[in-house]
Amino acid sequence: MKKPQFTEPQQRRVETTLMLVDKAVQRVEFLLDRAVRHHGPSGVTSSLDEQTVRRLRERFRQLQDAAAELYRGYGFHGRRLDLERVLDAELSSLWEMLEDCRPERMRGFGPMEEQTARQLEADIQPLLDIVNRASAELLTFSKARRKRE
């Protein structure tokens, strides 16, 4: 594999993303282990059968191996995680999860009482506002940093 020529910000983004893929797979494997073993109060319940868990575990290992191969192929050398990129990724995930909890997005789960829908919308919106403000603050910092570089 020919090593791509990234700018420093591009390299930080790709390297951090590949490291986050590895961490996400580790979290998934942890959850799959807890769901299958049923040791104590793990906080994990699952309706997945063992064959499906095995297949999913294999797919996640393939993802982890492919990401590790890219990491090595790109010549990355264990840089520390870029907190800015990690926060950006986490905020994006949080925003998506919260948006998916809006009553409008949950129509496929069956009817929701109007009062419940209004309450849920009212409860979710402040959380989204906090995530949006944090994202805006991070973006403001990122733009200022790029101007300085």
- What pLDDT shows up at residue 5? 83
pLDDT mean over 116-142: 93
Residues 7 and 71 reside in one and the same domain: yes
pLDDT mean over 77-83: 74
Instruction: Report the C-alpha gap between 33 and 57 in whole angstroms.
Output: 10
Whether residue 40 has pLDDT greater than 60: no
**pTM (2 d.p.):** 0.62
Residue 135: give the domain boundaries: 82-149
Residues 71 and 96 reside in one and the same domain: no
CA distances from 71 to 4, 33, 117 (A): 11, 26, 45
Residues 14 and 64 reside in one and the same domain: yes
Is residue 100 very low, low, confident or very high in pLDDT (cuts 50, 70, 90)? very high
pLDDT mean over 6-23: 85
Residues 38 and 69 reside in one and the same domain: yes
The domain boundary, picked from 79, 113, 129, lies at 79
Residues 18 and 66 reside in one and the same domain: yes
Is residue 44 very low, low, confident or very high in pLDDT (cuts 50, 70, 90)? low
Which range has the top average pLDDT, 17-21, 49-53, 107-111, 113-117?
A: 113-117
Q: Quick check: 58 and 28 in contact, CB under 8 A? A: no
Q: How many domains does the chain have?
A: 2
Residues 6 and 68 reside in one and the same domain: yes
Q: Checking phi first, is residue 6 left (phi over 0); if not, alpha (psi -120 to 50) or beta?
A: beta
AA letter at 117: A
Residues 60 and 107 reside in one and the same domain: no
The domain boundary, picked from 79, 110, 135, lies at 79
Whether residue 76 has pLDDT greater than 60: yes
Residues 4 and 60 reside in one and the same domain: yes
